[in-house]
Amino acid sequence: MDTIVIVLAVAVVLLALVMIAALFIVVRRTAGVAAPSGPSPEQLAEVKAEVNEELERARREAEEIRTKAERDAGEILQKSESLAESAALTRKEVEEEARLLKTELKELRSDLERRENRLAEREQRLDEEARRQAERARKLAETETELADRREDLERVAERRKEILERVAGLTADQAKAELVKEIENQAKREAALIVREIESEARKEGEKRACKIVTLAVQRVATEQTAESVVSVLHLPGDEMKGRIIGREGRNIRAFESTTGVNLIIDDTPEAVLLSCFDPVRRETARLTLEKLVLDGRIHPQRIEEAHERSKAEVRDLCVRAGEDALVELGITEMHPELITLLGQLRYRTSYGQNVLKHLIESAHIAGIMAAELRLDRDLVKRCALLHDIGKALTHEVEGSHAMIGAEIARRYGEHEDVVHAIEAHHNEVEVRTVEAVLTQAADAISGSRPGARRESLEAYVKRLERLEEIAQSYDGVDKVFAMQAGREIRVMVRPDNVDDIQAQVIARDVAKQVEEELTYPGQIRITVVRESRATEFAR
């Protein structure tokens, strides 16, 4: 508004100046006429016209100046308002940024205080742990001294007992051992001679040349991989920081994982990888899927471990069904009962002398089918017999009896042909062989199991020892779950807290250790750990 007033004042001044100039012109024109009686009317009219013209021109110029001034003033006013709005917006942004900086500074200060508190707590815990370790080392030293004294006493007692036994028996320990070894050697030689004689007699009856030709053709046409079973699975991690989350605070997560899955989790210096060790392949695969789900989710705590483990068990069951269906598709066999397909798929995770049972069945079916074609027999029937001959191994840990008889009963229950049932029950000569299909099933089973690279006796013995360790611990009252871990060097025994108290847990550990010492032969020592855990769960509604 002040600008508009100034412009209007300038316009008025200009108008006044124009009027003064017009009067000056009139005076100058009339100055040369010296008439005593004044100017004539024509002159006055001319002067008036000129004055009016000058006034009109001055008025127009003043109007133009005023209009331009108003327009300039409006533009100036708009620019002023725009600048004022920009200034206000800038000031608001500056104030908001200042407020955010203050908030961030406050949060950083709070975070720093929390970290300082955590460091102080960690230092305190480390000091306490150091004191406990020192006390434990002192107690261990005392215990070692006592054990050394007891060991010397036991050695003296054992030596005295040995002298008494030798004096009573009249033989030294070396002499008794030599006689026993000689007797066992003679008995083994006699049994071996009888077996050789029986094998030679059966070979002559069946016709050696014809059998060798058929078997050779079958073996040459079947190419399968060699046994390479392992008791360790490797899981790759997205980063080494995930190892700390898997271990958890004070090892809580890794203990919960091993207790839930029964699989030993090994975390070493291998970059971005952990190892899962267990003799049971089903349990190991379930644990691998569980850990994979936990790593992908990122949330690792005992409750999530149990939930992921349940989902992984369901996944493994689905994989077993799919494996059974794939085996049928590979062999071209159709119309089999769904329960038999499920049991067949479960053998995917079962091994016999280190050989995968499902692969062994598929290989035996191929060999039997080839031999049946050479003899012009029903290929589909013979392949079906060979595929199902070890189906009972899927239930040997649940039903008493040999796997041949169990498998025959299962096949009969689910509507298999009587020739198939007979081939299953007779493939280990527990029932007298009556059909050619049963003989071919036996031959295919023997070829698949005896070919180079098919089986490893050491792995089977190792797995049987681990299974026996779990069976021994499971036989005691109050035991809930048992896991053989650390390659058989440790047994974790989970007891029910309602049925077993702390003193009874110690008794179970001592009894299990004593029974293992009496029944099994193993290198080194085996640690028996009895875990008694109480849980309380409530729901907030």
Q: How many domains are there within the chain? A: 4
Query: CATH no. for residue 424?
Result: 1.10.3210.10
Q: Give the pLDDT score at 384.
A: 92
Q: Are 226 and 454 in contact (CB under 8 A)?
A: yes
Residues 315 and 349 in one domain: no
**pLDDT for residue 36 is more than 50:** no
Q: Is residue 48 part of a domain?
A: no
Q: Give the pLDDT score at 227.
A: 43
SS (H, E, C) 44-69: HHHHHHHHHHHHHHHHHHHHHHHHHH
Taking 3-state DSSP, the helix, strand and coil percentages for the chain, each rounded to the nearest 5, stand at: 70, 5, 20
Highest mean pLDDT among 250-259, 278-287, 394-403: 250-259
Residues 467 and 452 in one domain: no
Q: Give the pLDDT score at 25.
A: 64
- Count CB neighbours of 431 within 10 A: 17
Per-residue pLDDT band at 418 (split at 50, 70, 90): very high
- Residue 530, classed as helix, strand or coil, is strand
- Count CB neighbours of 149 within 10 A: 10
Question: 277 pairs with which residues across the strands?
Answer: 232, 264
Q: Supply the Cα-derived Rg of the chain in whole angstroms.
A: 51
Distance CA 416, CA 263 (A): 38
Question: Which one is predicted more confidently, 438 or 462?
Answer: 438
- pLDDT tens per residue across span 351-406: 776 678 888 899 889 989 988 888 888 889 999 999 998 888 887 555 667 888 88
Query: What is each CA distance from 83 to 77, 78, 88, 97, in whole angstroms?
Result: 10, 8, 9, 21
Distance CA 426, CA 483 (A): 35
Residues 512 and 484 in one domain: yes
Select from 286, 291, 358, 294 the least CA-distant residue to 317: 286
- pLDDT tens per residue across span 174-219: 776 777 777 787 777 767 777 877 777 776 666 656 665 665 555 5
- Count CB neighbours of 455 within 10 A: 20
Helices 403-413, 418-426: crossing angle, 10 deg rounding: 170
Cα 540 from chain centre: 31
Q: Is residue 506 part of a domain?
A: yes
Query: CATH no. for residue 253?
Result: 3.30.1370.10
Residues 443 and 354 in one domain: yes
Select from 364, 322, 526 the least CA-distant residue to 450: 364
Q: Is residue 44 part of a domain?
A: no
Q: Which two tokens stand for residue 194?
A: 């009888």
Residues 310 and 401 in one domain: no
Q: Give the pLDDT score at 34.
A: 42
Mean pLDDT of 420-429: 90
The residue range of the domain holding 240 is 224-331
Q: Is residue 146 part of a domain?
A: yes
Residue that is last in its domain, among 158, 184, 200: 158
**pLDDT for residue 452 is more than 60:** no
**pLDDT for residue 149 is more than 70:** yes
Q: Give the pLDDT score at 423.
A: 92
Residues 349 and 427 in one domain: yes
SS (H, E, C) 125-168: HHHHHHHHHHHHHHHHHHHHHHHHHHHHHHHHHHHHHHHHHHHH
Distance CA 364, CA 423 (A): 13
Mean pLDDT of 42-66: 78
Residue that is last in its domain, among 287, 310, 331: 331
Residues 154 and 230 in one domain: no
**pLDDT for residue 228 is more than 80:** no
Distance CA 366, CA 385 (A): 11
Residues 448 and 499 in one domain: no
Q: Give the pLDDT score at 35.
A: 44
Distance CA 447, CA 218 (A): 9
Q: Is residue 105 part of a domain?
A: yes
Distance CA 26, CA 33 (A): 12
- Residue 34, classed as helix, strand or coil, is coil
Residues 413 and 438 in one domain: yes
Q: Is residue 398 part of a domain?
A: yes
Residues 479 and 430 in one domain: no
Residue that is last in its domain, among 140, 158, 176: 158
**What is the helix (H) or strand (E) element at residue 483, kind and residue range?**
strand 479-485
What percent of the chain shows pLDDT beyond 70?
A: 80
Q: Are 328 and 334 in contact (CB under 8 A)?
A: yes
Mean pLDDT of 264-282: 79
Averaged confidence pLDDT in the chain: 80
Q: Sheet of 273-277: strands edge to edge?
A: 232-236, 273-277, 264-266
Q: Give the pLDDT score at 33.
A: 43
Question: Which one is predicted more confidently, 530 or 67?
Answer: 530
Q: Is residue 311 part of a domain?
A: yes
Residue 337: what residue type? H
Query: What is each CA distance from 502 to 33, 497, 498, in whole angstroms?
Result: 145, 9, 11
**What is the helix (H) or strand (E) element at residue 414, kind and residue range?**
none
Q: Give the pLDDT score at 441.
A: 92
Residues 254 and 283 in one domain: yes
Question: 527 pairs with which residues across the strands?
Answer: 490
| Lowest-pLDDT choice from 146-155, 279-288, 400-409 | 279-288
**Sole residue written with tokens 């590979």:** 330
**pLDDT for residue 282 is more than 50:** yes
**pLDDT for residue 51 is more than 50:** yes
Q: Are 437 and 377 in contact (CB under 8 A)?
A: yes
- Count CB neighbours of 461 within 10 A: 12
Q: Are 456 and 229 in contact (CB under 8 A)?
A: yes
Q: C-alpha angle with apex 496: 494 to 499, nearest 5 degrees?
A: 140
**pLDDT for residue 457 is more than 60:** no
Q: Is residue 322 part of a domain?
A: yes
**pLDDT for residue 2 is more than 90:** no
- Count CB neighbours of 364 within 10 A: 28
**pLDDT for residue 329 is more than 80:** yes
- pLDDT tens per residue across span 82-92: 888 888 888 88
Residues 309 and 360 in one domain: no
- Residue 248, classed as helix, strand or coil, is coil
- Residue 297, classed as helix, strand or coil, is helix
Against a cut of 0.75, is the pTM above it? no
